[in-house]
Structures are given as C-alpha cells and as structure tokens.
A and B are shown apart, each in its own frame.
Chain A
Amino acid sequence: MAAARVLQAGGCYRRRPLSSASSSASSGSGRAAERGERPDSVGLGFRPPAHSHSDWIGPPDRHSNLRPVIFYVPPEESALERRLREARQEAQASNQRFWARHNRAFRQEKEEFIYSRLKAKGLEMRDESGQKATLNAEEMADFYKDFLSKNLKKHLQYNRHLHPHTNKFYLKHSTGGQSR
C-alpha cells in the first residue's frame, strides 16, 4: 500500500502537504528516478551500492542531529509512489532546515550568553590553562528559560505543521502502490 511505503521510512516528519512536495521536487528528481538512481544522495556525499533495493539511513547531521535517509527509487516506480517519495524527501528537507537553523541559533546564543556573563563577572573566555570557561547549571538556567520562551512560538508553528496533515495524507494515498 502506498501508505505502507510512506510509513516505511522517515518517521513522523513525512506529514507535509502534498502539493508543495510534488511541485518542488518532481522536476529535478524525475529524470534521475527514471534511470533508477537516487537523486537525493548527491548532496550527502554517499552513494548506496547499486544492488541495494532498500533505503539507507546515515549518521546524524552535525547541525540538525537528524539522520538523512536516501530513498530507494525502483525502476518501475509509479506516479503515486513518486509523489509519496518526493513528499517524504521534502518533509525530510524541511525538518532538516528547521532543526539546523534552530540548533545553530541555540549554540550561537548560548555562546553569546556565556560571553556576556563571563564579561560581567570579569573573567575571560579561556582561563590560564587555555580551557574554555563555562558557567554552572544554575547560571545557564536563565539562558535556557529565556531561549525556550523566545522560541515557543516558532515551535508551536513547527508542531502544527508536523501533525495535522497526517490523517488526510494517509487516507488519501492508502490505495494502490506496492508494499515492501
């Protein structure tokens, strides 16, 4: 079933509106898909072996901590399957963008906070032995609280996108397709 294929890889971040997925990804990946290649492996620096017929999952991305998945494109992939695969890829890409940006912002703001606090205390970023100076957990707590409340709205929006389209998405595509 197509729903089965959707569920087979990629966790809950597949739930994206289908229209945006197919419009953005279809043109580029269409030609490669016909040749039986995996179009999204290009940017990731890894190519799964040609004989393999399953998806491949990689190590966690250094920014987003999400593991990229290279989807298998069967040579006789139907149009519906292609749309599903592209939807999954698009969902994966949007999750990747969100978390990479979010984590980078976190790290940056954390560094700035530590720097400003250390400065207020009259200390340098590195002490005599060259080690990076850190604040203890209680001092960092202020930063965590602040960061969470600043980003709450962003998270709420992200969560809203994550979940509501699931049922419509699966029900719409629960017919046809092949299961693995």
Chain B
Amino acid sequence: MSAARSCRPPRALAGLFVWHLRNTGARQIPCRFVHLHHVASNRLITFQYFNFLKRMYVTQCNKDLSQRAKPKSDSVVSPFHELQQLDQEKKFVNKISSVSPVHQSWSEMSSRKELREIKSAAETEDSVIPVGAESKEDRQWKEMKLRLHDLPGILARLSKIKLTALVVSTASAGFAMAPVPFEITCFLLASLGTGLASCAANSINQFFEVPFDSNMNRTKNRPLVRGQISPLLAVCFAASCGIPGIALLTLGVNPLTGALGAFNIFLYTCCYTPLKRMSIANTWVGAVVGAIPPVMGWTAATGSLDAGALLLGGILYSWQFPHFNALSWGLREDYSRGGYCMMSVTHPGLCRRVALRHCLALIGLSAVAPVLNITTWTFPVISLPINLYISYLGFRFYRDADRSSSRKLFFCSLWHLPMLLLVMFTCKKSLVEKEDKGWQGVCALPGRCHPALHPALLPGAASPAFLQGRIAPGRVWEVPVAEVGSDPSGWKKCSRTSYLQT
C-alpha cells in the first residue's frame, strides 16, 4: 500500500539502516493510518515528519464495534531518550480523529474480537474449547526458527529504530550547536556511535521486560514477546551494537563522549528499567537519559563539557516531562496492571503539575541560551510563541486532567522539540570572536592533534596546549601580540585548522 511508501521520507532520516517491512496486517496499520490521517487532516509537513515515529494501536471505544485508532506508543522516553526518551520509551502517538472502522485491519479486528470472547469466557470460567477452534489454535503456534529475510525488520523493532533515529537527531543538534567549525567526519562518527549505543540499550531493555511487555497493549507485539528472535540473539545483537558504538565514540571521537554514552546505557538499562517498577523517580531518571544525547553531541564537537552542553541537556530534560506525562495519562490501566509505578497512576496531581512546571522551564531555558553565548537574542524571542503554546496546553492539561488535553499536549510536544532545535540552530551565534589579542586560531580537528600538524608558531609563542602535545577541538589558542607582532606572515596554514584574523 502506498502508505508504506509515505513513511519512507522520514525514514530516510535514519539513513544508515535499510530494512524491509513485512506486509503483515498489524505492522501495516501505522502506515495505513498515517496515510489516511495525512490525507484527512492536511497537516502534511508535521505528519510526514512524524509518521516514522508513529505507531498505531486500536482500542475499544465504548465497548462497541466501532474502533478508533489510538496511537500506539512505543517506548517513551527514548532510551537514550528512552535513551533519550523517557521510557524511556518514546511513544509517538498518531492522532487519528475520525477513522472509519472499515480501515481497521482485519487481523487487529479479529484479535480484538477474540480478546473480547476470551474475556467473557474467563469471566464465566468456561474452559471447554470447541473442537473447531483447535486447528485455528494450532495455526497460531509458530516455530522458533530464525528466518533471515525477516531479520532486518525484527532487529529494527528490537532496537526501536525510530526512537534511535530521534536520539541521533538530538545528538546531532547538540553537535551542530557547539561553537566550533563543523567537522563532518567527527559528526558522522558521533552520530553513528550514538545510534549504535541507543540500539544496544533498547535491545537490552526489551530483553529484560518480556513478561511485562506481554501484558501491555502497547508493547505486546515486540519481537522477543512474539518469539521471533531468540533472547541469545537479542543479547548478542545488543553487545555487537553497544561495544563497537562505545568504542567508536571513545576512540574515534573522544573519551568523554564515550564515557557519556556508556553511562547512558547503564542508566537506562540498570537504573531506569528496574526503577519503573519500584518508584515514580523513574521518570526523572528517564529524563536524564533523554538529556544526555545532545550533551554527547556537544562534547563530541568541542571535547569538553561546558555550560552550553548543560543548557542543551537541560532543555531536553525539561521537554521530557510534558511529553511523557501527557502520554502516560492514557496508559493508566496498563501501567496499573503491569505494576509500573508512574505518576499518572499514583500521583496524578503531581504528574500534571510537573508537566506544567517544565513547560514553563522551557521558556526560562530558552532565555538563558543567549546569556551563555550559544545563540543570539533573537532565539528567545522567536521561540516564545511555541514555548507559550506548549505552556498553554500544559496549563489546560493541568486544569482539565482529561484525555483530550493530554493528547493535545503530547502531540504538541512531538513537533515542539524539532522546531525549537531548528530555531536554536538558525539563531546560533557565529563562531568568530573579536579579540584584540593578535592572531587566534581555532583547531577544527576532532579528538587530539599533534603539534607537528599545526603550523610552526614563532619561537617562544607556544601555548600550554602545544607543550602538552594536544589541543582540544574548538579551543581557541592565542598568541599574544607582543610575541607574534602584528605581522601574520609567521603563521603557516595547517590543512586542518582554520585561522581567523582578529
């Protein structure tokens, strides 16, 4: 169906992965509905952008047969956001306001009917299975053998590829916002390393949560739950993504980024995942998981953890709360039955307050950006409308506490973040700093560079960084005018260093 193709452009963002979606009923639904919705609502750009994030689910509406498509949420907070996203599984919800029941996939409908039948049977304690149903049951048994042509799709679902793509894009935003000349190889290495680390974290998370995922509507079609891949293979895949990913970040970018990546995997798999079933603090931990990727992008570019990195992380951290809290509002039944401690179930008032609080914090953080010289002052001004809008929706959610306000807030968060990052990038402060100190150079090399690669400075003009044999990328090194003189001819141009005359 052309719906599958309508999902492709956004998927090009993920770029590095090519996979083939099987044409099975349940899997096809998201694209189909996305397509329908796209046609129905004319929100072309938004949904084209987001339909790779959308998952659909079908729920009952007032227990009658007209089923409304409900967004199927994925992990929230992406593991890096969930890893980034809280959850942190990022859940992307596709809003479908008026989809006719005809478009329900046959298999979904039949499974829903089956579920209803099963439920009523359970209630009456009826355990007699009619003979005719046996062969149908038999057909549902699947051999647990790995089919190679299915493997790319299975691994994509295992690694939550859409969420990973979002995590990589936030890391790229962090890289782009760093005040250094753009270095393409470093950028690609950092993005690839972050993506691999995110895949690893997501796979391990799914490995740990099989019985819980089986019991929640949103997650019951995951590969490990359905037995499409053996746990051994899932763990091997996670290791084969995580180890090269972290190694790539540590050796190919810099050790700080590698350490952040490893820490984020640990935080997601060993802190967030068990905490989900122990206390509501998991949401805050998940927000940190989501905030780390842009920090990683920044440290990949500059080699150091400075105020700009923390601000970007802070913006992502604050964003997580309206996003996740609004989403979790609609999942209270599943969370309650599955034993997940989420604010929306245990402390609903706190849930809404925190969401509103962090919407307002976004306004404040946007205003701090020019103070730290990351952006110009046009950024808080231009971003004010979208920040005010999400705060307004956050306030409506706080006041009304119902399904429609939570959905509105969630959908707003989906386009709010990319737009904010885009505006931030366009308002980025330019690199050149005028200083009356003679010649300045900015090293554009990622990682370390040897003084031999740099031009010969005038004797006696070595900066401490050269004496150590390394200079961090993005570091501005100066030579005092008294030593250089006003004549720049003493400087030789290195192929990898850009020189800026003051």
Contact = CB atoms under 8 A, between A and B. Distances in A.
B121 interface: yes
A172 interface: no
Contact of A65 (B62, B215, B231, B235): B215
Nearest to B139: A59
Closest 6 CB pairs of A and B: A11-B210, A57-B227, A7-B232, A144-B336, A155-B339, A59-B140
Interface stretch (B246-254, B294-302, B340-348): B340-348
A125 interface: no
Interface in B222-275: 224-227, 230-233, 235, 274
Interface in B129-157: 129, 134, 137-138, 140-145
A134 B231 contact: no
A95 B215 CA distance: 12
Please classify how large the interface on chain B is, using the bins under 10, 10 to 19, 20 to 34, 35 or more. Answer: 35 or more
Contacts of A152: 339, 341
Contact of B224 (A11, A52, A154): A11
A178 interface: no
A102 B277 CA distance: 15
B342 to A, nearest CB: 9
A104 B122 contact: yes
B232 A8 contact: yes
B144 A9 contact: yes
Given A8-B232, A132-B63, A144 B332 contact: yes
B214 A65 contact: yes
B118 A148 contact: no
Given A141-B348, A147-B336, 16 more contacts: A8-B232, A11-B210, A54-B143, A56-B142, A57-B141, A57-B227, A58-B137, A58-B142, A65-B215, A70-B141, A99-B211, A141-B332, A145-B346, A148-B345, A149-B346, A155-B277
A16 to B, nearest CB: 13
Interface in B97-149: 118-119, 121-123, 129, 134, 137-138, 140-145
B211 A8 contact: no
Contact of A4 (B62, B211, B224, B232): B232
Interface of B: 62-64, 118-119, 121-123, 129, 134, 137-138, 140-145, 207-211, 214-215, 220, 224-227, 230-233, 235, 274, 277-278, 330, 332-333, 335-337, 339-341, 345-346, 348, 401-403
B141 A56 contact: yes
A148 B339 contact: yes
A62 B118 contact: yes
Contacts, number: 147
What's the dominant secondary structure at chain B's contact region? helix
A32 B186 CA distance: 59
Interface of A: 4, 7-13, 45-46, 48, 52, 54-60, 62-67, 69-70, 95, 99, 102-104, 106-107, 111, 131-132, 134, 137-138, 140-141, 143-145, 147-149, 151-152, 154-156, 158-159, 162-163
Nearest to B133: A45
B337 A103 contact: yes
Instruction: Identify which of B122, B224, B274 gathers the most chain A CB atoms within 10 Å of its CB.
Output: B122
Instruction: Identify which of B118, B129, B140, B232 gathers the most chain A CB atoms within 10 Å of its CB.
Output: B232
Contacts of B346: 145, 148-149
Nearest to B403: A137
A159 B277 contact: yes
A13 to B, nearest CB: 5
A174 to B, nearest CB: 12
B207 A11 contact: yes
A66 B129 contact: no
Instruction: Identify which of B144, B235, B277 gathers the most chain A CB atoms within 10 Å of its CB.
Output: B144
Contacts of B134: 45
Contacts of A95: 211
Contacts of B220: 60, 65
